[in-house]
Amino acid sequence: MNLFTALRDLVLKEVAALVEAGELPQNLDTSAIAVEPPREAGHGDVATNAAMVLAKPAKRPPREIAQLIAERLKHAPDIEAVEVAGAGFINLRLAPSFWHARLREILREGADYGVVNLGKGAPVNVEYVSANPTGPLHVGHGRGTVFGDVLANLLQRLGYKVTREYYINDAGAQVDVLARSAHLRYREALGEVIGDIPEGLYPGDYLKPVGAALAARDGAKWRDVSEADWLPVVRGAAIDAMLRLIKDDLAALGVRHEVFTSERKLVEDGKVEAAFRQLEADGLIYTGVLEPPKGKPAPDDWEPRPQSLFRATKFGDDVDRPLKKSDGSWTYFATDIAYHRDKIARGFNDLIDVWGADHGGYIKRMQAAVNALSGGAAKLDVKVCQLVKLLDNGEPVKMSKRSGQFVTLRDVVERVGKDVVRFILLTRRNDAPLDFDLAKVTEQSKDNPIFYVQYAHARIHSVLRRVAEEMPEIARDVGSLEAAAFDALSDEAELGLIKLAATWPRVLEQAALAHEPHRLAFFLNDLAAAFHRLWNKGNDDPRFRFMILSDSRTTQARLGLIVGVGLVIAAGLTIFGIEPVEEMRA
RNA sequence: GCGCCCGUAGCUCAGCCGGAUAGAGCAUCAGCCUUCUAAGCUGAGGGUCGGAGGUUCGAGUCCUCCCGGGCGCGCCA
């Protein structure tokens, strides 16, 4: 149960009653009424702006309306105190029994706590990674990968029918470069001395096995024929190999896409042509001449050229966008239009793309295209991930793609572990740059967010183990804990921990609606902090220890509390695709 | 030149579709281990929320302009 939506319903009910009683006019717009946690804990457990929202349409002072509502709320069950404050806020304090009931709810629902059917089975398409199949993934890719994957997990958990997709850019010039690079490695494998890799080709060693495999399979067959003859073959082999490499990298991170879509195949199947014709039929394509971009030196070979343009400006883009290159082949935009058209045709009206920051300028045109293709029915949300700055103990790790000396995602996953990568990459908002320090993220200290959260979970299980040893008479199964005497939990620190854990349903829901999985990471960090705080309160004052040898009633109630917290932490980590640990010792 | 993102404590960043006295971590300083793991916790100092207008009962949050940084701007993807 999301307690805030439940209390909002209660407030709305009282407002309706006041309308009924003639205190407030009919037909009030109540949509802006919010019930939220107040910023200041001192203001109570929840606050509502109802009176302030209604003041103007009701033509009565907000504090007066607040009094009316407050008077009624005082009689509602579980509400311990109601006060009108500030400009007309209504602050509510809920009875301990209310919070005890929330704890019982957490214990009863366990991993499903906070899970509501927000999506109602609506299909959502999440496209992420979509890196060119020209080499291994690097850390920058990792960020979008984790973001997309955890967002997909989150949406799936809340009742959306999620499909995870990867778009393979295997049709452009870059895969031809890949093919030439692989052909060089092929000749090398046949015994030729190739020397330095020429400028403009991929220098990485990862193409050596591709060349070797080709030589082993076909011998010298592709050595002395023209490029036009060998290129498609070598390209196909190289793309296949790179895709296997990438899928392995993804598997090492615990990521698996359901659908891989080949750009080349879209072209071959005439899907791009079909998308083009659809837009043409809708009058959204014309032949025109684009201005050269201003503010930077025009490309050397710039010449005004009539070309097929999509009327993106009709859908909010800044200029109309070209669909064909000068050689007659499709632009990247054109094939991407076809891909999104294909997604829409497969029944998705809710599209999410996760891109790197350097593609930010591409958002408007893609949204314009989705809008045009679906007649406004489909929505595309593009989440852009900023750069990751890789550090090792504070020192920047040198990465140069040109020399082939860049740290791969695989390297990082193998060094620090997939769980660490999955969590740390979400400890910033997607649109803020992120530092990833290889040394710090494996540190066993509170400076390391994932350690901090796992440590809280481990401590909870440590207490369980101790109680099993010292007080075996206490039933520790969730069923028994649910029935524990929670009136023993009366300290504000204990209730505060329940209160925080009880906001989990709201956090889940809001993270899903906003498409912002990082909120889960921040919440878990806060929850862990609240737990560590209570733990230390027990250090300072033995009466607050979870295990009180002389008092099995209190001990069991406190076990219920921390097991509940542990369940919420575990539920959160599971969405991250991270295994909660029960002890920290290796 | 235009578009998008960002600008919050010395540093790195949160701030929940506008809500009350703007938060956390790091760093600095001062404290807490005969303990359920101190792998942790408590406290203190530190802010014109880049600037100026505007909308609103109320603006870090929305709008306009300006300043500063990043990304992008046909034949790369």
Instruction: Establish if A290 belongs to a structural domain.
Output: no
Q: Which nucleotide does the CA of A525 lie closest to, via C1'?
A: B24
How many structural domains compose chain A?
A: 3
Give pLDDT, residue A178: 96
Give pLDDT, residue A296: 67
| Domain residue limits at A18 | 3-94
- The reply to whether A356 has its C-beta less than 7 Å from any atom of strand B is no
Instruction: Establish if A517 belongs to a structural domain.
Output: yes
- Characterize A304-336 residue by residue with b for buried, 16 or more Cβ atoms within 10 angstroms of its Cβ, and e for exposed: eeebbbbbbeebebeebbbbbeeeeebbebbbb
Q: Within window 22-41 on A, which residues have Cβ closer than 7 Å to strand B? A: 32, 34, 36-40
The kind and range of the H/E element at A161 are: strand A161-168
What are the distances in angstroms from CA A488 to CA A103, A309, A491?
Answer: 13, 71, 9
Q: Rounded to 5 degrees, what angle do the CA atoms A198, A204, A206 make?
A: 135
Give pLDDT, residue A87: 86
What is the identity of the amino acid at A79?
A: I
What is the CATH classification number for the domain harbouring A37? 3.30.1360.70
Instruction: Establish if A155 belongs to a structural domain.
Output: no
What is the identity of the amino acid at A436?
A: F
The DSSP 8-state label assigned to residue A152 in this structure reads H
What is the CATH classification number for the domain harbouring A529? 1.10.730.10
- The reply to whether A476 has its C-beta less than 7 Å from any atom of strand B is no
> What's the Rg (C-alpha) of chain A?
29
Instruction: Establish if A293 belongs to a structural domain.
Output: no
Domain match, A89 and A192 both = no
pLDDT tens sequence across A121-132: 999 999 999 999
A166 CA → B64 C1’, Å: 40
Domain boundary residue, one of A71, A94, A117: A94
A80 CA → B20 C1’, Å: 21
The kind and range of the H/E element at A261 are: strand A259-262
Q: Within window 70-129 on A, which residues have Cβ closer than 7 Å to strand B? A: 85-89, 91
Instruction: Establish if A248 belongs to a structural domain.
Output: yes
A20 CA → B55 C1’, Å: 33
Give pLDDT, residue A399: 64
DSSP for A22-55, please give it.
TSS-SS---TT--EE--SSGGG-SEEE-HHHHHH
A456 CA → B14 C1’, Å: 21
Q: Rounded to 5 degrees, what angle do the CA atoms A230, A235, A239 make?
A: 160
Instruction: Establish if A227 belongs to a structural domain.
Output: yes
Give pLDDT, residue A316: 86
Instruction: Establish if A264 belongs to a structural domain.
Output: no
A465 CA → B36 C1’, Å: 9
- The reply to whether A362 has its C-beta less than 7 Å from any atom of strand B is yes
Domain boundary residue, one of A252, A276, A310: A252
Give pLDDT, residue A585: 67
Comparing CA positions, the residue from A308, A421, A287, A332 lying closest to residue A132 is A332
Write the CB contacts of A74 (distance below 8 Å, at least 6 apart in sequence).
A82
Domain match, A570 and A465 both = yes
- The reply to whether A434 has its C-beta less than 7 Å from any atom of strand B is yes
DSSP for A497-534, please give it.
HHHHHTTHHHHHHHHHHHT-THHHHHHHHHHHHHHHHH
Comparing CA positions, the residue from A465, A457, A470 lying closest to residue A584 is A457
Domain match, A78 and A184 both = no
A529 CA → B15 C1’, Å: 18
- The reply to whether A533 has its C-beta less than 7 Å from any atom of strand B is yes
A573 CA → B16 C1’, Å: 20
Q: Within window 388-427 on A, which residues have Cβ closer than 7 Å to strand B? A: none
Domain match, A188 and A88 both = no
A318 CA → B65 C1’, Å: 20
Instruction: Establish if A189 belongs to a structural domain.
Output: yes
Residue entry with tokens 């099993």 = A468
pTM of the model: 0.95
Q: Rounded to 5 degrees, what angle do the CA atoms A51, A57, A62 make?
A: 25
Give pLDDT, residue A395: 81
Backbone angles phi, psi at A541, to 5 degrees: -140, 105
Q: Which nucleotide does the CA of A533 lie closest to, via C1'?
A: B41
Give pLDDT, residue A445: 82
- The reply to whether A443 has its C-beta less than 7 Å from any atom of strand B is no
Measure CA to C1' and name the residue nearest B77: A332
- The reply to whether A43 has its C-beta less than 7 Å from any atom of strand B is yes
Q: What token pair was written down for A144?
A: 């979008």
Q: Which nucleotide does the CA of A456 lie closest to, via C1'?
A: B40
Domain match, A455 and A562 both = yes
Strand B, nucleotides < 7 Å from a protein CB: these are: 1-6, 12-17, 19-26, 32, 35-42, 57-58, 70-77
Domain match, A453 and A543 both = yes
Q: What is the mean pLDDT of each run of 10 residues along chain A (586 residues)?
A: 91 94 89 87 89 90 93 93 91 94 96 93 96 92 95 96 97 93 96 91 93 97 95 97 97 96 96 96 91 72 84 90 89 96 96 92 93 93 91 78 68 92 94 89 85 94 94 94 95 92 94 94 94 91 92 95 96 95 80
Domain boundary residue, one of A78, A94, A110: A94
- The reply to whether A433 has its C-beta less than 7 Å from any atom of strand B is yes
ipTM (interface predicted TM): 0.94
CA distance A545 to A566: 17
Torsional sign, CA A172, A178, A179, A181: positive
Measure CA to C1' and name the residue nearest B18: A32
